[in-house]
Chains A and B, each alone.
Chain A
Amino acid sequence: MSLSPASGIGRFYKHSAKIIRFVRLGCANRPFYHIVVMERRKNQHQPVIEQVGSYDPMPNESNERLVALNTERIRFWLGKGAHMSEPAAELLGISGLLPVHPRTYMTAWRNRRAAAEAEAAETETSKVDTA
């Protein structure tokens, strides 16, 4: 039986650009990601160099999103000069391992603004109703 691509059978050149990124697994309407190190130029479904974590973006029954990170290897690969894809960088920022990514801040303030606007609209309509 052939090894699954997640088991780290990917071949790579010594000086090629590596990247820490997601690989989308799971199925239709049920995403699940492996966080892997692979050559930057490769397609996500090709064999990876190493799997360094997993990310389940669907909240579980206690309303949490679960992330597993092999921090030792992530540190190693970052020290080796591996790049990060933007979602991966965001996730690592949220985890507190790296500085928080600006995009996370942006999402946060956009969400806050949307919530405030929705609330304003709510009060507006209720005022109209009472009037």
Chain B
Amino acid sequence: MLRAGCQLLNQAAAVKTGSNNFALEFVRWRRKPRWLPVAKSKMFRVPERKKQTEEERTELMRLHNNYKTQLRSVRQYLREEVVRQQETSTADHIVLTPEQEEAEFQRCLDENAAWNAKIASERNVRLAEEREAKVAYVQERLEAAKLRSEERREKVDERIRYEIEQAKTFITRESLEVAIETALANPVDHNYAIDLEGNMYRGR
């Protein structure tokens, strides 16, 4: 009966939430909402009061007093124990005597010096190599530059020689008259045609 009711409720809930997996349904821990009134069957129920006799009450009072006193002293002891533990424990830190500390520091220094020496030797070797490489590179570049300038000078010399060669036929101020004379004496006529065989056909 109860189970059937639950199923009905479940179905109703499923319809309401659209029955997807995301809406989590708590079936087991469902409660009556606060705002609903007291159930009819429980309306006139008066909860029974457990009765406690006088002697039980005094006995419990005595026991509680005892208990509280004892617990207080136990707590006091434990508190002191915790403080003691924290003071003496080396669980989360390392305790060293000054000599040990000094020795440790010295050891660290030595180790550091050793590391430095090792790295320095490595670095010197590396730097020497790099320097050599640089010198070689510069040398090479210098030679290349020398070669290049030589070539350039060669080219320029060539040009100058050519120009000097050319300069022999130039018309200067002195030879101007002669040149004019020559030009006037040998007129050149360019008005002609050439066929495919190279025969020249002069007109005029």
Contact = CB atoms under 8 A, between A and B. Distances in A.
Given A79-B81, A81-B79, A106-B60, A99 B74 contact: yes
A30 to B, nearest CB: 13
Interface residues of B, number: 18
Contacts of A100: 67
Interface residues of A, number: 14
A102 B75 contact: no
A28 interface: yes
A102 B67 contact: yes
A78 interface: yes
Nearest to B84: A79
A105 B78 CA distance: 25
Contacts of B74: 78, 98-99
A102 B80 CA distance: 26
Given A28-B28, A106-B60, A75 B78 contact: yes
B79 A102 contact: no
B8 interface: no
B153 interface: no
Nearest to B65: A102
Interface string A73-115: 0011011110000000000000000111110011000000000
Contact of B67 (A76, A78, A99): A99
**For the complex, would chain B's binding face be called helix, strand, loop or mixed by DSSP majority?**
helix
A79 B79 contact: yes
B79 to A, nearest CB: 5
B70 interface: yes
A79 B75 contact: yes
A20 to B, nearest CB: 12
B170 to A, nearest CB: 99
Contacts of A28: 28
Nearest to A80: B82
B64 A102 contact: yes
Contacts of A102: 60, 63-64, 66-67
Contacts of A105: 63
B71 interface: yes
Contacts of B82: 75-76, 79-80
Contacts of A75: 78, 81-82
8 contacts: A79-B81, A79-B83, A81-B75, A98-B71, A99-B67, A99-B71, A101-B67, A102-B63
Interface of A: 28, 75-76, 78-81, 98-102, 105-106
Return the 5 tightest CB-CB contacts between A and B, nearest first.
A79-B82, A102-B63, A79-B78, A99-B70, A79-B79
